[in-house]
Amino acid sequence: MEELFPHFPAFLLIVVRVTTFFVAMPIFSYRSIPVQHRVGLGIFLAWIMYYTIDAPVLELDVTFYLLIMKEALVGLFIGFAAYMILSAVQVAGGLIDFQMGFSIANVIDPQTGAQSPLMGQYLYTVALLFLLSTNGHHMLLDGIFYSYQFIPIDQLFVPFGDHALIEYLAKAFSKAFMIAFQMSIPVVGSIFLVDVTLGILARTVPQLNVFVVGIPVKIIAGLAVIILVMGMMMTVVTQLFNFLLLTMRHLMQLIGGV
């Protein structure tokens, strides 16, 4: 304790960054995980990180409270960026639902408490299971650990309003949307061809009620195409994970001024 007490302010700053990172980061921020477990895991990881980084001796003054706010903003910013990019899977599912007719029946996501599309929730769950099976959550924890190499604890001012940082975040959001479009385009394109076919049938066979026949046909065609292209979707999800890690690293470099 005599060794830890002079460095306790630095340890507290590490706890703030790690726990706020868990607030916004996928998997660790879900409501199904008790708050006590998340806080305990954050303190445990902060305890390990404390012995692996050069923790400076800080005074409990006004600067220390500013550093606490800075650490909280850094953790929330990096976690939000990770969540934003991983949400591209739900965006892809929303595009698919809009074409299949499932967009009228959103479900409540038990993890976040928000409404999400049916296929979006299904694909997001599969993507999270794929992330866990490939130890992607370990890479997310590595990201918060190596953030201290780019953003030191005693760095008071961070350029959150920098033009390069905002521009890079906008480009990352744009690329995440492009990845979501790549995931959904096989299913959306196939259902579009089904719509064209139904339109031709409506003109050639006026007795056929296209609105009654079209909904189950589009659902069956959409589910069949999803089964066929599921492997391709997981390949795109792998690219999404790689892009997520690169984005977190580049954001930390921009925040730290490296």
pLDDT tens track for 194-245: 888 888 888 887 777 777 777 888 888 888 888 888 888 888 888 888 888 8
Provide the domain count of the chain: 1
Encoding tokens for residue 174? Answer: 């744009």
Could you tell me which residues come within 8 angstroms of residue 196 by beta carbon, excluding any fewer than 6 positions away?
A: none
CB 139 within 8 A of CB 57: no
Q: Which of 58, 57, 45 is nearest to 14 (CA)?
A: 45
Asked if pLDDT for residue 247 goes beyond 60, the answer is yes
Task: Say what percent of the chain tops pLDDT 90.
Answer: 0
Going by their DSSP bridges, the two strands 115-116 and 107-108 should be labelled as antiparallel
CB 82 within 8 A of CB 140: yes
Instruction: State how far the Cα of 65 lies from the Cα of 99, in Å rounded to an integer.
Output: 51
Asked if pLDDT for residue 120 goes beyond 80, the answer is no
CB 99 within 8 A of CB 117: no
Q: What is the DSSP letter of 115?
A: E
67-108 pLDDT tens trace: 888 888 888 888 888 888 888 888 888 888 888 877 666 666
Q: What is the DSSP letter of 104?
A: G
CB 156 within 8 A of CB 67: yes
Q: Give backbone dihedrals phi and psi of 183, rounded to 5 degrees, phi first.
A: -70, -35
| Amino acid 182: pLDDT | 85
**Domain carrying residue 109:** 5-256
| Amino acid 115: pLDDT | 67
CB 90 within 8 A of CB 233: no
CB 27 within 8 A of CB 137: yes
| Amino acid 33: pLDDT | 75
pTM reported for the whole predicted model = 0.76
